[in-house]
Each structure stands twice: as C-alpha cells, then as structure tokens.
Amino acid sequence: MIAIKPDPAQYPLQLQEKEAEFKAIMAPFDPPQAEVFQSPPLHYRLRAEFKIWHQDDDLHYAVFDGGRGQPPTFVEDFPSASTLINDTMPRLRSILRSSPILRRKLLQVEFLSTLKGEMLTTRIYHKPLDDEWATEARQLEEQLDMAVIGRSRKQKCVLSRDYVNETFRVQERDFHYRQLEGCFSQPNGVICQQMLEWACAVAEKSEGDLLELYCGNGNFTLPLSRHFGKVLATEISKALIRAAQANCDTNDINNIHFVRMAAEEVSAAMAGVRDFRRLEHINLNDYAFSTVFVDPPRAGLDEKTVAMVQGFDNIIYISCNPHTLADNLHTLTQSHRIQRLALFDQFPYTDHMECGVYLQRR
C-alpha cells in the first residue's frame, strides 16, 4: 500500500528494518555487505493514479484503502508523488469541475511525470469520447502545458503525444528516454538513476558482449552498452521494443540490437533447441557473450532461463522480489559467487524491496 501521508521522520527506521529483512533473506548465500540506496523521503514517485469520486456538483481524487464496501479516502495532495504531480492535481481538478464535458462519466485519472519536468495525464471514461471532448481536452493541454490522453472502452484518444521524455545522467553522460503511456517505466526517478549508476559501475571493467533479457524501453541497455563491444537485448512487448529502438537512435548508440523475444525463447535459441525467424538476421556465433543482464518480473527466472544464465561468466541481476531472487540464487550460487549486493528503496514506506546482485563464475 502506498503511503498517502508519509512521515519523513519515520523513514530512516523503516529503511533500517527493510535492510535487516533483506540481509536475512540473502544470508544463506554468504554475500558481501549490501550497498543501500535510499530514496528521497518525499516527492519520489513519478507516477500516480486516482479514482474520481463524483459527489453532488463536486469531484474528488480518491483511493480505496479499506476493505470491500468501505468509503473512499479523498486525496487533496499526494506528498509521495513528484512536485509536478502535486502542483497539477488541484489545477486539473478545478478545470474538470467547471467542464461538464470533461468530467461526465470520468472514472480515473493517471499522472506520468519526469525528472526533466514533463507531464502526461490519462483520463479514463465510461463513455465514448467525441470531437466535443477532444476540443475541450486540447484547451486543457494548453492551459496546463501537458499531454492529455483519453481512454474509453476500445478507444484511445491521443491529442498530441502518448509519451513523456526523460533524461538520466549516468557516469557523466546524459541518456534520453521516451517513456510510453501505459508501458512500464521506473516509478522512482532518483532511485532509477542510482540503479543505472550501480549497474554501470559493476560492468565497468567488462570485456566481450552483453545479452540482456527483459530490456523494456532500453532503460539499462543504453548506459550499459558503453561497457561492451555489442549488446543483444530482448523484450516481449512490441511497444517497448519500438521505444527502445527510438531511444537508441536518439542517443546515437549503434552497438545494440533489439529483438522481440520472451526469455524462454532466448533460452531455447541459446541452447540451439530451435530456430527463430526473429533471429534470422542475427548470428549468435558472432557474439562473444561474457555477461548477461536480467531484470525479470516478480516471479523471477524460470528454470530453463536460470540454466541458460549459468552459462555466462558474469551475471547482473536486478530483482523486484528478493524472495524469488533467493529461489534463483540457490541454483546460481552453485556455479557463481556473489561479488556485489545492493538494496534500492524504490518504494519507501512499503515492504517492497528492489535489489541488485552481481555474480561471477567460481
């Protein structure tokens, strides 16, 4: 559960408790001391979403943090979210209040902001969106200087663009990213930048080529590419592959090849079990893979992917679930030793732990 009104005075203690739990989970693998990266205690989230609660002639941002049938909690401001989101919330609410067209059957509002200062809002409706709605929404775009998207059943209305532009500075270089509405991006920008710095520091003295699984929009791929000869990066989402390639072009990086493949398919291709048409223009034998980078979903790596990953001398593993990471480490540490360990506090005031492990062959 995200804290609606976080108490910064409690943050150091909560982080200590999280660090102790993480240490206990990792203890069976005899790791080095974990590096701990703390979040800003306030205004750390670049994304937020709220239900819209209509009451008489008014409307409110609302969250439902109780049990079923419990009334909503109205949210006037959201200190966990970026300053830009907090500044936009009352201005947007005021405009919605005064516009019957924009507020009618409005169910939810989603905010996507960046460290760079760009903003996009998505509004979800229980009605078709027509030209009259689009006209007023365009005026709102101009008033609030942000991109606006409307969604309804089987309908997506993009008025100007469906992405925001972000910039992360990693090892004294700026990397520019297009982050798509509706697609995954790291919610805590400060922590994301620290994760990129950590991963690049781990890879700094690497040789050979890199294989990356679950590359998303190229978040890690772009800065990591500086430390390898060639990079083969895979992702299952078509939209994210397109964004990753666009980000690669924007940053003038030319040693990365993106392929739309699931981790299980990559494992099969690497093992020579079967051929894939999506790899017909790629000769895997042309790569001198020394390192694999993985950032899987909460379920962790499947058994076949773990076996494939063990074939690499170096493994960089970013995890959003230390328990499934531990499940994978029971196998990986039979062949590899943990050289570095990190805890990234992506979501303060929650039990969530984002972590990083760097393993080298024994």
pLDDT at 167 over 60: yes
Per-residue pLDDT reduced to its tens digit, 200-230? 999 998 999 999 999 999 999 999 999 999 9
Mean pLDDT score, 167-175: 97
Catalytic site residue from 118, 212, 235, 354: 354
CB neighbour class for 355 (10 Å; exposed up to 12, middle 13-18, buried from 19): buried
Three-class secondary structure of residue 361 per DSSP: strand
167 Cβ partners below 8 Å, 6+ apart?
Answer: 114, 115, 116, 174, 175, 176, 177
pLDDT at 95 over 70: yes
Count of domains forming the chain: 2
Residue 230 sits in a domain of what CATH number? Answer: 3.40.50.150
Catalytic site residue from 192, 200, 320, 355: 320
Residue where one domain finishes, among candidates 163, 198, 228: 163
Residue where one domain finishes, among candidates 101, 128, 163: 163
Q: In which band, very low, low, confident or very high, does the pLDDT at 5 lie, cut at 50, 70 and 90?
A: confident
pLDDT at 270 over 90: no
Same domain, 217 and 290: yes
Same domain, 60 and 28: no
Same domain, 136 and 152: yes
Told to judge if 354 belongs to the known catalytic residues of this protein, a careful annotator would answer yes
Same domain, 107 and 53: yes
Same domain, 286 and 349: yes
Computed over every residue of the chain, the mean pLDDT equals: 95
Mean pLDDT score, 141-170: 96
Percentage of residues of the chain with pLDDT beyond 70: 98
Per-residue pLDDT reduced to its tens digit, 332-360? 999 999 999 999 999 999 999 999 999 99
Residue 219 lies in a domain: yes
Same domain, 124 and 14: no
Q: Which of 24-38, 53-67, 95-109, 290-304 has the lowest mean pLDDT?
A: 53-67
Beta partners for residue 151, in sequence order:
124, 156
Same domain, 199 and 342: yes
Residue 31 lies in a domain: yes
Mean pLDDT score, 170-176: 97
Residue 211 lies in a domain: yes
pTM comes to 0.94
Could you tell me how many residues make up the chain? 362
Q: In which band, very low, low, confident or very high, does the pLDDT at 2 lie, cut at 50, 70 and 90?
A: low
- Expressed as residue numbers, the domain containing 237 is 8-42+188-361
Residue 154 lies in a domain: yes
Six-digit token pair at 85? 């989101």
Which pLDDT belongs to residue 345?
97
Same domain, 222 and 261: yes
Same domain, 224 and 93: no
Told to judge if 215 belongs to the known catalytic residues of this protein, a careful annotator would answer no
Residue 180 lies in a domain: no
Residue 177 lies in a domain: no
Q: In which band, very low, low, confident or very high, does the pLDDT at 3 lie, cut at 50, 70 and 90?
A: low
pLDDT at 185 over 60: yes
Same domain, 277 and 333: yes
